């Protein structure tokens, strides 16, 4: 049985040929046009000698060319290796070498780093996408070369097998070097079809694409889902609250899919009001835990319900989700989607009973779990136990089957023998009326083993002292959980999806 996840584009193009698939500053591309462009790109790859199974790096921001290249790579039977546009040359070199990539498609804004990386990795082929407003690259070959193949040649649509690798996405590398999660055609198809049904995705939806498409959340949960159900994607290359408000109004966006920092930025933006985003019918949050205070305040101010989900790179994104306003469990990340099992394990790798008093590691198995880490059998073996993928996240499942995230195992603070979950402290800090962002970590302490430290970004115009912040928390939490040190930051450093980078804070 053959299966290629690019069939989601082919089928939607048959059903909605004249409907916009992509909206962006300066234009639109219909489904029929996108299908034809990706056919032409696949012809170009084959004309250049790239054969099925070839790994091709894809380092582009949220621009139409990312979508064209992605589906073109899949149609040619090749494997896409999405890469963060913020990576420096040594990081790109590692991912190119580790994935055994034969080519890299990059953007003019990252071309110099990409050129150094391809040379260091021994990758011969570098293609560059030039965009308006960015100085034209002086290295590599223009991306348009891959669209210049003879259009009279048959359009390739390789009949890959369901278990063949479609995408290799590298983990963020919070511990050690990044690892390439191999996601198959079947997994990506299932994890756009099932979540799309869960989301209630509609063909008349306009999905605002703020998440980077090179990240599994943007690629699997947004791009693939929208294309599968014939919806429209409106591309925003870089998150900026004012720009987001403009695009929502311009394109009448109905879905806001983002991470907590994006919802927080809109909530605190001085120039946004409910009428500006009235076209939104729902917000979808993932990538990190959404502070309860942010969820409550956003829904109250804008009247837009936020549904939370949970997933990882290794699970092709969506693992659990709250399916609707009526059936959600607030502050939970929902229930496992169809075809996915979730358990909570104790320190002896045994399932624990339901209830908040039974916190343990979240483990997952199902149709969404990666086939393994590419060319890394040791890491793959250490991540699976009895066929279950170990997420490294701590949580519990309530008696109704809803999953609640407590924290990352590596973020757990053990202070004088007591467990302190940073997220619990962060929830209290986010409830402070003068705090915009907060992060809590453990720092070494000679007497207690670890001490609790908070990083805080005040709202503009707000002045806070360390004593004020500590006293605020002491009034609301057991004293052993309270931070003893507070460091103020004008702003936090964030990863590509908006997560606060705690590894840098450490």
- Domain identity same for 158 and 45: yes
DSSP at 109: G
> Which of the listed residues 375, 409, 443 is the one where a domain comes to its end?
409
Categorize the per-residue pLDDT at 174 as very low, low, confident or very high, splitting at 50, 70 and 90: very low
The beta strands (E) that lie in 369-502 are given as 372-373, 384-385, 388-397, 403-408, 413-415, 418-420, 435-445, 449-458, 485-488
The residue with greater pLDDT, 424 or 438, is 438
pLDDT of residue 155: 83
Query: Tens digit of pLDDT for each residue in 191-209?
Result: 999 999 988 899 999 999 9
In a domain, 19, yes or no: yes
380 close to 372: Cβ distance less than 8 angstroms: yes
Buried b (16+ CB within 10 A) or exposed e, 396-412: bbeeeebbbbbbbeebb
The answer to whether residue 380 scores a pLDDT higher than 90 is yes
Q: How many CA atoms lie within 13 A of 260 on its CB side?
A: 26
Mean pLDDT of 496-500: 77
Residue 153, pLDDT score: 85
- Give the pLDDT confidence of 334-350 residue by residue, as tens digits: 999 999 999 999 999 99
Tell me if 236 is assigned to some domain.
no
**Please, where are the H alpha helices in 275-344?**
292-302
Contact assessment for residue 398 and residue 354, using Cβ atoms and an 8 Å cutoff: yes
Query: Which pLDDT does position 173 carry in this prediction?
Result: 52
C-alpha span between 137 and 14 (Å, rounded): 37
Shared domain for 370 and 383, answered yes or no, is yes
DSSP classification of residue 221: I
Per the structure, the count of domains in the chain is 3
Q: Can you give the pLDDT at residue 261?
A: 83
Same domain, 373 and 491: no
Integer Cα distance of 339 and 497 in angstroms: 26
Out of 343, 378, 409, a domain closes at 409
Give this prediction's pTM: 0.87
Calculate what percentage of the chain has a pLDDT beyond 90: 75
Confidence at residue 172, expressed as pLDDT on a 0 to 100 scale: 65
Q: Kindly state the average pLDDT of the residues 463-483.
A: 91
Domain span holding position 427:
412-505
CA 132 vs CA 63, 83, 109, 230, 422: distances in Å: 11, 21, 11, 28, 43
Distances (CA, A) of 481 to 262, 433, 441: 28, 20, 11
Q: Do residues 427 and 401 both lie within one domain? A: no
How far is the C-alpha of 200 from the C-alpha of 213, rounded, in Å? 21
- Give the pLDDT band of residue 179 (cuts 50, 70, 90): very high
Is residue 235 domain-resident? no
Same domain for 153 and 45, yes or no, is yes
d(CA 472, CA 463): 14
Has residue 95 got a pLDDT over 60? yes
pLDDT digits 0-9 by tens, 279-338 = 999 999 987 778 888 899 999 999 999 999 999 999 999 999 998 878 889 889 999 999
CATH code at 438?
3.30.300.30
Strand partners, 145: none
User: What's the pLDDT score for residue 446?
Assistant: 77
Supply the CATH number for residue 352's domain.
2.30.38.10
Has residue 147 been placed in a domain? Answer: yes
Q: Tokens representing 246?
A: 């403009």
Mark whether 12 and 105 lie in a shared domain: yes
Answer yes or no: are the C-beta atoms of 6 and 156 closer than 8 Å.
Answer: no
422 and 478 part of one domain: yes
- What is residue 418's predicted lDDT score, i.e. its pLDDT? 73
Average pLDDT over residues 177-186: 94
Indicate if 11 and 117 belong to the same structural domain.
yes
Which of residues 130 and 153 earns the better pLDDT score? Answer: 130
Q: SS3 breakdown of the chain: % helix, strand, coil, rounded to 5? A: 35, 25, 40
Last residue of a domain, one of 184, 212, 246: 184
Sheet holding 485-488, edge to edge: 435-445, 449-458, 485-488
Give me the chain's average pLDDT, please.
92
> What is the share, in percent, of the chain residues with pLDDT greater than 70?
99
């Amino acid at each position: 049985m053959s299966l290629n996840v690019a069939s989601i584009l082919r089928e939607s193009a048959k059903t909605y040929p004249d409907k916009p698939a992509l909206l962006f500053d300066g234009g639109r591309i219909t489904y029929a046009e996108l299908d034809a462009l990706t056919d032409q790109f696949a012809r170009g790859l084959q004309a250049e000698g790239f054969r099925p199974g070839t790994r091709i790096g894809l380092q582009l921001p949220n621009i139409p060319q990312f979508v064209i290249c992605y589906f073109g790579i899949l149609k040619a039977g090749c494997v896409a290796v999405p890469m963060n546009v913020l990576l420096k040359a040594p990081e790109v070199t590692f991912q190119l070498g580790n994935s055994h990539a034969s080519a890299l498609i990059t953007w003019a804004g990252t071309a110099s780093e990409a050129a150094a990386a391809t040379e260091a990795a021994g990758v011969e082929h570098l293609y560059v996408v030039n965009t308006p407003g960015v100085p034209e690259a002086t290295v590599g070959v223009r991306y348009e070369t891959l669209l210049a193949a003879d259009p009279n040649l048959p359009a390739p649509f390789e009949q890959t097998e369901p278990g063949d690798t479609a995408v290799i996405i590298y983990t963020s590398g919070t511990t050690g070097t990044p690892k390439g999660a191999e996601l198959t055609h079947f997994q990506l198809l299932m994890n756009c079809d099932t979540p799309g049904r869960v989301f209630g995705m509609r063909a008349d939806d306009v999905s605002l694409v703020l998440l980077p498409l090179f990240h599994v959340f943007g690629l699997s949960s947004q791009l693939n889902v929208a294309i599968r159900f014939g919806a429209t994607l409106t591309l925003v290359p870089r998150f900026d609250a004012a720009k987001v408000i403009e695009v929502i109004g311009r394109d009448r966006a109905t879905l806001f899919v983002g991470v907590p920092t994006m919802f927080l930025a809109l909530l605190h933006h001085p120039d946004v009001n409910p009428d500006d985003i009235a076209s939104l019918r729902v917000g979808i949050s993932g990538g990190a835990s959404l502070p309860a205070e942010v969820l409550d305040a956003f829904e109250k101010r804008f009247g837009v319900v936020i549904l939370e989900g949970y997933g990882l790179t290794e699970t092709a994104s969506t693992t659990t989700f709250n399916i609707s306003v009526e059936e959600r469990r607030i502050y939970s990340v929902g229930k496992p989607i169809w075809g996915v099992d979730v358990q909570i394990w104790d320190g002896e790798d045994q399932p624990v009973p339901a209830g908040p008093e039974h916190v343990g590691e979240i483990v997952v198995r199902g149709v969404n779990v990666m086939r393994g880490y590419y060319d890394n059998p040791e890491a793959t073996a250490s991540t699976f136990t009895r066929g279950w993928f170990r997420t490294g996240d701590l949580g519990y499942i309530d008696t109704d089957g809803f999953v609640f995230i407590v924290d990352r195992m590596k973020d757990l603070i053990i202070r004088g023998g007591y467990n302190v979950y940073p997220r619990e402290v962060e929830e209290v800090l986010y409830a402070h009326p003068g705090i915009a962002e907060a992060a809590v970590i453990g720092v070494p302490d000679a007497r207690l083993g670890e001490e609790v430290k908070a990083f805080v970004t005040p709202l503009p115009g707000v002045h806070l002292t360390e004593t004020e912040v500590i006293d605020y928390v002491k009034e609301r939490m057991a004293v052993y959980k309270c931070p003893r040190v507070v460091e103020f930051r004008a702003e936090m450093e964030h990863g590509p999806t908006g997560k606060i980078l705690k590894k840098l804070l450490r």
